[in-house]
Structure 1
Amino acid sequence: MKDQEAALCQAGRLVRELFPQALGAVLGGSAALGRSTPTSDLDIGVLLPDRAGSGREVIRHEGRLVELFLNSVDDVPEFFEWDRARRRATVVFVYAQGMTLTDPHGQVARTRQRAQEVLAMGPPPLTAEQWCHRRYVLTCYLDDLADTATPPVNRYEQLVIADHVLREAAELLTAHHGAWTGIGKWMPRRLIAADPVRGNDLLAGHQAVAERADPGPLSAAAGELLELVGGPLREGYADRWQARPTEAQR
């Protein structure tokens, strides 16, 4: 609680010092949820009068890293839709679950309400093509992971493949439940929130690869997930190029 209060006070000082023109601001992320560590950065959403300053910035304030999410009031609806389409809704979560730092005109309250509505909607469902693509990709990584069970084991390759299996499985499992996904430390948090049993099996399987070089539990957990969403996909998969690559893209 003391760490949370200290973070709240520091975030308030930052907004007053650097954004005196702000229409409102919130402290989000781990600090707002009481889950920060001494080295955690601060995630601060700031509402500005115009779009000129909109963007994402990382600064250091009073010795602590701060990630700033800057938006004008006018661009919030469009930005939230873009954030939702990514299926992570990073800034939406900052406002929906954050702590208000300043709100002189009620703009933060309205933005928080909109953010909570977006979270309640959930991420957009995957298209049929996206489901097939993710099943195919996870199938490929699982085949590669199975190959690492036979000595001699290249641990570098095994660990990288296991990371990809977990990432792709997390995307499929959260999509299956219509739940938000995440990256970094938010990936296991969102995975467990979406499906405590299967999410824990995937994470424990990944840990088995890291600690014991045993790909069996992860292969089993990801394989069960694949069966849940339509099964492995190998031959028969096709993905057509939408446009020829330009010279610069080749």
Structure 2
Amino acid sequence: MASPRSGGSADAERAADAALRFCDAEYPEATTIVLGGSSSTGKRTPTSDVDILLIAPPSTFEGRSGSPTAEARVTHHDGERFDVFAYTVEGYREWAEHDFASLRPVLPVLLTEGVPLRTGDEFADLRRWSADRLTPGPRTTAHQLALRRYAVTDLIDDLTDATDELVSAAIRADLLRGLGELALLSAGAWLGSGKWLARRLRAADPTSADVLAAFARERDDREAASIAAVLLDRLGGRVDEDLVR
């Protein structure tokens, strides 16, 4: 069994060592272990957890609560917080399919972009299968994009008319996410949430990312709505006509 290691920073090496110690203690039968997220790039912040994807035989999941083929958990070990995604080969494929259907393929990205710390016989096949599905990008129809444009159109109008501070904040949050996701899908890129939405948008469409950042900085609601409208125009424009959902 191979044990490739990151050639990156000392911080990534420490995270890799911590991940292997944790897996040896909690999942000793794991055949594939992949370090993901900021831990794999050496860009961890003080609050970053250690993301781990592992593949293990069915016997690993016997006697555990939940699924016999999968376990997702957050846990602490040796002073680190671990975000664990543990699967059998079949469990990984099943949950990866769910991710692809949601347009937010967390597991396939973790497997293909993470740092392999231990690789079993299944690793190459699963990584190839994941990469083949990721490479073409998400499949979206014109109608699906129109539905998203409609939702953004409605939010822009709501923000223009907002008078309550809390209502305004809620609309802004939904509008930032809605515009960001619309921009990603329009660029043929997979979705991400939180910081990963921003990072994916910076990589896929820097111009839209800059406009969205300007929207986030603007404190005046009407001006922010105008900036959002500019970005929506870039992404296909308003949808005001009748639409079947």
TM-score scaled by length of structure 1: 0.84
Shift of 1:53: 4.1
| Cα 1:185/1:229, change in 2 over 3 Å | closer
What's 2:239 paired with? 233
1:223 aligns with 229
Q: 1:61 to 1:234 in 2, by over 3 A?
A: same
Tell which deviates more after alignment, 129-138 or 218-227.
218-227
Other-structure match for 1:111: 126
Question: Secondary structure of 1:56's match?
Answer: strand
Matches within 5 A, 1:17-56: 17-50=25-58, 52-56=68-72
The correspondence for 1:68, drawn from 73, 81, 84, is: 84
Deviation at 1:7, TM superposition (A): 0.6
2:200 corresponds to 1:190 = yes
- How far residue 33 of structure 1 moved from its aligned partner, in angstroms, is 1.9
Q: 1:147 to 1:44 in 2, by over 3 A?
A: same
2:160 matches 1:146: yes
**CA gap 1:136/1:35 in 2 versus in 1, 3 angstroms:** same
SS at match of 1:52: coil
Deviation (angstroms), 1:61: 1.4
Q: Displacement, 1:217?
A: 5.0
Q: CA deviation at 1:83?
A: 1.2
How many Å separate the matches in 1 of 2:184 and 2:174?
15
SS of the residue corresponding to residue 60 of structure 1 reads strand
Equivalent position of 1:246 in the other structure: none
Q: Deviations over 1:113-141 (max 9, x none)?
A: 3322222121222x344223211111110
Identity fraction in percent: 34
- Residues in 1 aligned to 2:71 and 2:227: alpha-carbon distance in whole angstroms: 39
Q: CA deviation at 1:197?
A: 0.9
2:147 to 133, 156, 176: 133
1:75 is displaced (CA, Å) by 3.4
CA distance in 2 between counterparts of 1:9 and 1:55 reads 22
The residue that corresponds to 1:242 in the other structure is: none
* SS across alignment from 1:181: coil
Task: Kindly indicate whether the alpha-carbon contact (under 8 Å) linking 2:159 and 2:168 is maintained by their aligned counterparts in 1.
Answer: yes
Does 1:4 pair with 2:4?
no
Distance 1:112-1:217 versus aligned 2 partners, 3 A rule = farther
Q: CA deviation at 1:220?
A: 3.2
Query: How far apart, CA to CA, are the structure 2 residues paired with 1:73 and 1:12?
Result: 20
Are the counterparts in 1 of residues 214 and 227 from structure 2 also a CA contact under 8 Å?
Answer: no
Question: Gapped runs of 5+ residues in structure 1?
Answer: 240-250
Q: Deviations over 1:72-118 (max 9, x none)?
A: 11333333222112111111111111111212x33223322332222
Aligned pair count reads 229
Distance (Å, rounded) in 1 between the aligned partners of 2:224 and 2:199: 18
Provide the rounded CA distance (Å) in 2 between the counterparts of 1:194 and 1:169: 14
> Could you tell me which amino acid in structure 2 is paired with residue 54 of structure 1?
A
1:214 aligns with 2:229: no
Moved over 4 A (4+): none
Could you give the per-residue CA deviations for residues 196-243 of structure 1, whole angstroms, max 9, x where no partner exists? Answer: 0111111221122xxxx223554234323333444212341233xxxx
CA contact (8 A) 1:166 1:203 kept: no
Q: Is the 8 A contact 1:84 1:124 kept in 2?
A: no
Aligned counterpart, 1:244: none
- Cα deviation code 1:134-159 (max 9, x no counterpart): 111111100011113xxxx4322222
Instruction: Quote the RMSD (CA, aligned, Å).
Output: 1.9
Q: Which moved more, 1:107-116 or 1:54-63?
A: 107-116
